[in-house]
Structure 1
Amino acid sequence: MRIVLDAVAKGRAQRALPETTTSFETGRATLVVAETEQRPTVLGLVASGRMKVDTGSVLIDGRADAAAIRRRVALVDAPVVSEPEPNVSVTGVVAEELMFAGRAPTPFAAARWLEDIGLAGIGTLPVGNVEPAARVRLLLELAVLRKGVEGLVLVAPDRHGGQPDAWWRIAREFADRGYAVLVIAGQASRTAVDALELAEVDR
């Protein structure tokens, strides 16, 4: 699967989203820059087929099909739109997603699932108190529980703090597992990720 955003923009004078071009595809993690409070979410909605653009195009495998993008791409942790309520416990969030995935939505099942993904012990924490990298892993793992998900659009993980290399490595892990991953973050994160990848090449 390959999704291409070609010169997409939104809003009067492109205030909601200035012209942006990027793409993401199966087996690869891509980072695209969007800054200010609103623009990362707008770009995430566009990239996941959930918002029409005013100019430009969004294509999946060479065709315009927003419904197919919505079915196949999960929008993860977008402020206001898809982020979990910060005061809800991790167990509560996991149980709800297990229910949507057709699995037992019990506290025991949630605890077992958290153990399976290496996050045992955080179940009683409010989601808003979860360490940044663990939050990214948690929410991406929950997203791929949904049937038919092939792509992930992760919105502004840098807003929670932590080191960009931590959540970027997790994004690449999901790409290695066969997902198309788009991460939307700020310019400072772009600089940090570029430095990380350059250091890896130089090793």
Structure 2
Amino acid sequence: MRIDLVEVSKGRGDAALLPTTATFTSGSITLVRAETQQRPTVLGLLASGRMHPDTGVVTVDGRVDYGRMRAALALVDAPVVSEPVGHVSTVGIVEEELMFAGRASTPSAARALLAELGLTEWARTPFANVAPTDRVRLLLELAALRPGVEGIVLVAPDRHGGDPSGWWEAARGLARRGLAVLVIAGDAAAATIAGTSVADMPDVIVEDLVEVSA
């Protein structure tokens, strides 16, 4: 799978999103910089086929096909749109996600998954209080369980604080399994991941982690 965003923008005068170009493909991870409260979510919606751009084009494998994009791409932790309710316990969040994945969604099934991921300590904790890296890793793993998912669009994981390298490595893990992964984050987090200063870093960071045959 290959998703191309070519000079996509949103809003009058590009207020919601400035023209942005990026690509993410199966077996790779791409980070795109987006600042302000609104722009990361807008870009996530465009990149996952849930919103149409005002200018530019979004394609999947060379074609405009929003239906396929919505079916194949999970939009993870986008503020307001797909972020979990903070006051619900972690085990409750897992139960709900297991239901979306078409799996047994009982408390025991949720606890078993948390144990498998080494996250049992957070079971009764309100989800808003889960450590940033563990929060993102859990949401990524849950999204990957959904039937037909070929790619992940992770929105603004840096807003939770913590060390960006933690959630970056969790997202890289999905790319190593062959998923197409797009991460949308702010300048400071992107600079940390790139190992450079904000002034010197690129707008887009791409790592090819798996050789995927056509």
Per the TM superposition, whether the score is higher than 0.5 is: yes
CA shift for structure 1 position 102: 2.2
- 8 Å CA contact 2:165–2:193 kept in 1: the answer is yes
What SS class does the counterpart of residue 46 from structure 1 fall into?
helix
TM-score normalised to the size of structure 2? 0.90
1:44-193 superposed matches below 5 A: 44-193=44-193
Question: How many pairs were matched up?
Answer: 197
Q: RMSD in angstroms over aligned alpha carbons? A: 1.2
- 8 Å CA contact 2:9–2:18 kept in 1: the answer is yes
Task: Tell me, in whole angstroms, the C-alpha distance in 2 between the residues paired with 1:100 and 1:175.
Answer: 22
1:55 maps to a residue whose letter is: T
CA shift for structure 1 position 106: 1.1
Task: Tell me, in whole angstroms, the C-alpha distance in 1 between the residues paired with 2:103 and 2:147.
Answer: 12
1:69 maps to a residue whose letter is: M
Task: Tell me, in whole angstroms, the C-alpha distance in 1 between the residues paired with 2:139 and 2:195.
Answer: 26
What SS class does the counterpart of residue 112 from structure 2 fall into?
helix
- 8 Å CA contact 2:101–2:146 kept in 1: the answer is yes
Structure 1, unmatched stretches of 5+, are 197-203
What SS class does the counterpart of residue 105 from structure 1 fall into?
coil
CA shift for structure 1 position 99: 1.6
- Structure 2 equivalent of residue 10 of structure 1: 10
Task: Tell me, in whole angstroms, the C-alpha distance in 2 between the residues paired with 1:137 and 1:31.
Answer: 16
CA shift for structure 1 position 98: 1.3
Task: Tell me, in whole angstroms, the C-alpha distance in 2 between the residues paired with 1:60 and 1:159.
Answer: 28
- Runs of 4+ deviating beyond 4 Å: none
TM-score normalised to the size of structure 1? 0.95
Deviations 1:81-102 (A, max 9, x none): 0000100111111111112222
What SS class does the counterpart of residue 148 from structure 1 fall into?
coil
Bigger drift between 104-113 and 127-136 goes to 104-113
- 8 Å CA contact 2:102–2:146 kept in 1: the answer is no
CA shift for structure 1 position 142: 0.9
Deviations 1:57-80 (A, max 9, x none): 000000100110000000000000
- Structure 1 equivalent of residue 207 of structure 2: none
Structure number with the higher helix fraction is 1
Structure 2, unmatched stretches of 5+, are 197-214
1:66 maps to a residue whose letter is: Y
Deviations 1:158-187 (A, max 9, x none): 000001111111111110011100000001
